[in-house]
């Protein structure tokens, strides 16, 4: 197995056996293609990417992946209901997405063709998260759309396969890269505050607090700060999140684990497989402005991303060892995950920012914020704080899951304050970081916030 495959393997093993929450799903209109042609496109994708025909097994020597050289894939055909195609294909997509994949047998991909009056209208694909991460599933979907639009000759050169990547990871060069990553993580873990490593729940305390924000103002503020600081939009949100965590927890620094696609080398750029790993981004408060802090956050994050490639089991064991040596019960981490994988999200143009009009625009946009408390029983492995960046176009879409024993207020409240902090920084980018942190401090846990 590759390091990325092992990371997802550990998460899937932690989930209930019938859990299908990590299954990936996408669809595309098929134009004038026939059923046979659509079936050929699905076949070509499975042949092209070994991860779509790979099973996994535990052997005496460890975990291994087995690539099938031949096989069959059943493709479901079903008539669609009336209405817009996106709405009509949704129930059919859910039929193939539902149900856990058996990673030891069968293909980790399912397909369905939606018909209208017997003629193909759309194709849906579902895949196991062990076969694809979010980024590589979009590679597969982009290739499917290319096949529909122009045919196989327009496909880009394929990156190396996961088996080839696994060979690299066991080579001398791979071992050197892993050692650099483990050394970097060890240095960070020795220095971060205990609150960034410590578990906050007993094993039986499974409840989590969920919230969601839809904020045009936050989107506008993030883009304005990105333009001023030179950081990208995700890093602006990462930095704002770090500042608010430091404020709420009364810490002088924070450490967030960021999910990274790790496609740094040309040979891995279009790799289809489970390839994501974690970066640890440690951000300290300093005597500087909000704009300067975000510029430094960008440099810090880039360095952290260079130190992500290692066996995840070794990374977790090392973290736990260091935490216990420091007298900390480990197992509770803070995560940030940018899940904007689609081409539409990746290529969305930034709005034009006029500094003179920005304050009035922010005032108007704040009136359109929608904050929601979510009723969910889901939780994230090893996480007491997990922030998802769902979208950033006309509005910023964030979803937050927290352990209610970790923060002094709810996930709903954190998202509210995150919007307010970021908007304030956009209005006043020369605000000292210390002043910004003091402005949004919360009382310790156990006290009331009137």
pLDDT of residue 316 exceeding 90, the answer is: yes
For the record, the structure tokens of 48 come out as 């092209």
So what's the pLDDT on residue 335?
Answer: 97
Q: Is CATH 3.30.559.30 what the domain over 178-439 is classified as, yes or no?
A: yes
* Equal fold, 3-166 vs 178-439: yes
Q: Is CATH 3.30.559.10 what the domain over 3-166 is classified as, yes or no?
A: yes
Helix residue ranges per DSSP H, 342-410: 343-346, 358-366
pLDDT of residue 379 exceeding 90, the answer is: no
So what's the pLDDT on residue 434?
Answer: 95
pLDDT of residue 449 exceeding 60, the answer is: no
Q: What is the largest CA-CA distance in the chain?
A: 67
Helix residue ranges per DSSP H, 203-327: 216-229, 233-249, 290-305, 312-325
Residues whose CB falls within 8 Å of the CB of residue 309, separated by 6 or more in sequence, listed in order: 3, 169, 177, 178, 181, 262, 277
So what's the pLDDT on residue 192?
Answer: 97
So what's the pLDDT on residue 436?
Answer: 95
Are 5 and 274 in contact by the 8 Å Cβ rule? The answer is yes
Instruction: State CA 1 to chain mean position distance.
Output: 21
Residues whose CB falls within 8 Å of the CB of residue 113, separated by 6 or more in sequence, listed in order: 30, 35, 38, 39, 75, 76, 77, 78, 120, 122, 123, 124
Helix residue ranges per DSSP H, 51-100: 85-97
Per-residue pLDDT of 104-153, as tens digits, reads 888 999 999 999 999 999 999 999 999 999 999 999 999 999 999 999 99
> Which residue bears the tokens 């993580």?
185
> Which residue bears the tokens 């919230």?
211
| Dist. CA 164–CA 166, nearest whole Å | 5
Are 262 and 308 in contact by the 8 Å Cβ rule? The answer is yes
So what's the pLDDT on residue 446?
Answer: 42
So what's the pLDDT on residue 285?
Answer: 97
CB contact burial 275-298 (16+ within 10 A = b; e otherwise): bbbbbbbbbbbeeebbbbbbbbbb
For the record, the structure tokens of 140 come out as 């597969």
pTM above 0.85, yes or no: yes
Per-residue pLDDT of 274-288, as tens digits, reads 999 999 999 999 999
So what's the pLDDT on residue 315?
Answer: 96
So what's the pLDDT on residue 443?
Answer: 61
For the record, the structure tokens of 356 come out as 């003179």
Q: At what angle do helices 411-427 and 233-249 cross, to 10 degrees?
A: 120
Q: Which residue ranges make up each domain of the chain?
A: 3-166, 178-439
- Kind of pairing between the strands at 333-338 and 62-67: unpaired
> Which residue bears the tokens 């352990």?
403
So what's the pLDDT on residue 445?
Answer: 47
Residues whose CB falls within 8 Å of the CB of residue 384, separated by 6 or more in sequence, listed in order: 199, 200, 201, 332, 333, 334, 402, 403, 405, 406
So what's the pLDDT on residue 109?
Answer: 97
Count CB atoms within 10 A of the CB of residue 105: 9
Compute the average pLDDT of residues 201-205: 79
> Which residue bears the tokens 């595309």?
28
Confidence of residue 187 (pLDDT cuts 50, 70, 90): very high
pLDDT of residue 447 exceeding 50, the answer is: no
Per-residue pLDDT of 26-66, as tens digits, reads 999 999 999 999 999 999 999 999 999 999 988 876 788 99
Share of the chain above pLDDT 90, in %: 83
So what's the pLDDT on residue 205?
Answer: 80
Sequential DSSP letters for 109-163 = EEEEEEEETTEEEEEEEEE-TTT--HHHHHHHHHHHHHHHHT-GGGSPPP---HH
Per-residue pLDDT of 322-365, as tens digits, reads 999 999 999 899 999 999 987 777 778 888 889 999 999 999 99
Compute the average pLDDT of residues 155-184: 95
Residue 412 vs residue 263, higher pLDDT: 412
So what's the pLDDT on residue 450?
Answer: 35
């Amino acid at each position: 197995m590759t390091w990325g495959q092992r990371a997802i393997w550990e998460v899937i093993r932690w989930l209930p056996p019938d859990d299908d929450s990590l299954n990936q799903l996408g669809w595309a209109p098929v134009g004038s293609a026939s059923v046979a042609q659509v079936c050929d496109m699905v076949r070509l994708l499975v042949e092209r990417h070994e991860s779509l025909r790979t099973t996994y097994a535990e052997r005496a020597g460890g975990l291994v992946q087995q690539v099938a050289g031949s096989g069959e894939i059943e493709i479901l055909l079903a008539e669609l209901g009336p209405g817009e195609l996106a709405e009509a294909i949704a129930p059919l997509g859910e039929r193939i997405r539902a149900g856990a994949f058996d990673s030891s047998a069968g293909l980790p991909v399912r397909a369905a063709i939606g018909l209208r009056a017997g003629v193909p209208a759309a194709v849906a694909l579902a895949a196991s998260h062990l076969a694809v991460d979010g980024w590589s599933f979009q590679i597969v979907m982009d290739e499917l759309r290319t096949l529909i639009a122009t045919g196989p000759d327009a496909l880009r050169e394929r990156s190396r396969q996961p088996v080839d990547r696994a060979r690299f990871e066991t080579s001398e060069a791979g071992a050197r890269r892993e050692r650099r990553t483990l050394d970097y993580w060890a240095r960070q873990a020795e220095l971060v505050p205990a609150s960034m490593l410590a578990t906050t729940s007993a094993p039986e305390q499974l409840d989590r607090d969920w919230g969601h924000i839809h904020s045009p103002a936050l989107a506008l503020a993030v883009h304005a700060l990105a333009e001023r600081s030179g950081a990208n939009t995700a890093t602006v949100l990462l930095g704002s999140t770090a500042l608010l965590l430091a404020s709420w927890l009364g810490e002088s620094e924070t450490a967030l684990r960021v999910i990274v696609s790790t496609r740094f080398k040309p040979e891995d750029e279009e790799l289809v497989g489970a390839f994501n790993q974690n970066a640890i981004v440690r951000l300290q408060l300093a005597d500087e402005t909000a704009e300067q802090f975000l510029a430094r956050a960008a440099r810090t994050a880039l360095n952290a991303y260079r130190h992500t490639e290692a066996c995840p089991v070794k990374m977790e064991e090392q973290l736990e060892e260091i935490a216990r040596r420091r007298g900390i019960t480990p197992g509770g981490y803070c995560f940030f995950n940018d899940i904007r994988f689609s081409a539409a999200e990746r290529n969305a143009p930034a709005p034009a920012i006029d500094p003179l009009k920005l304050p009035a625009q922010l005032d108007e946009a704040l009136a359109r914020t929608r904050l929601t408390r979510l009723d969910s029983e889901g939780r994230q492995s090893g996480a007491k704080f997990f922030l998802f960046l769902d979208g950033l176009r006309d509005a910023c879409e964030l979803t937050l899951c927290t352990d209610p024993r970790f923060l002094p207020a709810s996930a709903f409240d954190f998202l509210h304050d995150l919007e307010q902090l970021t908007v304030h920084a956009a209005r006043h980018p020369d605000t000292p970081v210390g002043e910004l942190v003091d402005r949004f401090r919360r009382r310790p846990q156990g006290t009331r916030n009137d």
